[in-house]
A and B are shown apart, each in its own frame.
Chain A
């Protein structure tokens, strides 16, 4: 069965700091990987996704994530965060044998101006 771990539950940064949020998954076969973002009071939106090809994926708003198969990881990064990046970030994985993606518990990011 697929599972997802997000190790950082709460992250607090100052504007312009660099960000890296960890995401590890358990499934050993082919996977589709996602990061979703939920801004305060809003619904989840897709930030970026990996299906195949270049393991470094660029998303919206300057975010990127790197798929490292040997580490079962798909960490999210941004070189310089802004106050408007304050949100919940969810990693999700869908394995070949599963019908739907499984979500991690989420990471709450607070960026101080």
Chain B
């Protein structure tokens, strides 16, 4: 069983389109994250949810909207896609508390905007 699963793994789309990436974790963790990894491998936090509540919202265009229907899911919707949105998006989860802060990452979703 995959601990953190993301779909789709690859996404190729045109500029201006709207797309979503889904993430699910079966670890029972209470916190989920979206990270963006650019072409230089730099990993940047975008959002974090704890028990469905938004706790981290970094400087990200408002075209990006996360949604957490329950603590096992954190989806990312992107409106009006731009070329600069091309990247690999990683979902991750963790359990807050003692021994926490260890992130379990999904396999990534490679978004290519043409």
Q: A99-B55, A100-B33 are in contact. Are A88 and B108 (CB under 8 A)?
A: no
Q: Kindly identify which residue among A43, A49, A100 contacts B107, using a CB–CB cutoff of 8 Å.
A: A43
Q: Which of A58-66, A68-76, A103-111 contacts B (4 or more CB under 8 A)?
A: A103-111
Decide if the interface of chain A is mainly helix, strand, loop or mixed.
strand
Kindly provide the distance from the CB of B44 to the nearest chain A CB, expressed in whole angstroms.
Answer: 8
Contact A94 B101 (CB under 8 A): yes
Query: What 0/1 readout, one digit per residue, does chain B (41-59) give for beta carbons within 8 Å of chain A?
Result: 1110100100000011000
A16 at interface by CB-CB < 8 Å: no
| Chain A positions near chain B (C-beta within 8 angstroms) | 32, 34, 36, 38, 42-46, 49, 51, 88, 90, 94, 99-103, 105-106, 108
Interface size on B, residues (CB 8 A): 20
Contact A99 B105 (CB under 8 A): no
Give the residue name and chain of the A residue nearest to B6 (CB). A43
Interface centre among A34, A44, A45 (most CB of B within 10 A): A44
Kindly provide the distance from the CB of A59 to the nearest chain B CB, expressed in whole angstroms.
Answer: 12
Can you sample 19 A-B contacts with CB below 8 Å?
A: A32-B101, A34-B102, A38-B41, A42-B107, A43-B105, A43-B108, A44-B43, A44-B105, A46-B103, A51-B99, A90-B43, A94-B101, A99-B55, A100-B56, A101-B103, A102-B45, A103-B43, A106-B41, A106-B42
Kindly provide the distance from the CB of A60 to the nearest chain B CB, expressed in whole angstroms.
Answer: 13
| Chain B positions near chain A (C-beta within 8 angstroms) | 33, 40-43, 45, 48, 55-56, 90, 92, 99, 101-108
Interface centre among A34, A38, A108 (most CB of B within 10 A): A38
- Give Cα A34–Cα B101 distance, bound, in whole angstroms: 9
Kindly provide the distance from the CB of A106 to the nearest chain B CB, expressed in whole angstroms.
Answer: 5
Kindly provide the distance from the CB of A65 to the nearest chain B CB, expressed in whole angstroms.
Answer: 15
Kindly provide the distance from the CB of A4 to the nearest chain B CB, expressed in whole angstroms.
Answer: 11
Contact B101 A101 (CB under 8 A): yes
Kindly provide the distance from the CB of B70 to the nearest chain A CB, expressed in whole angstroms.
Answer: 20
Q: A32-B101, A94-B101, A101-B101 are in contact. Are A44 and B41 (CB under 8 A)?
A: no
Contact B33 A45 (CB under 8 A): no
Contact B33 A105 (CB under 8 A): no
Q: Which residues of A contact B108 (CB under 8 A)?
A: 43
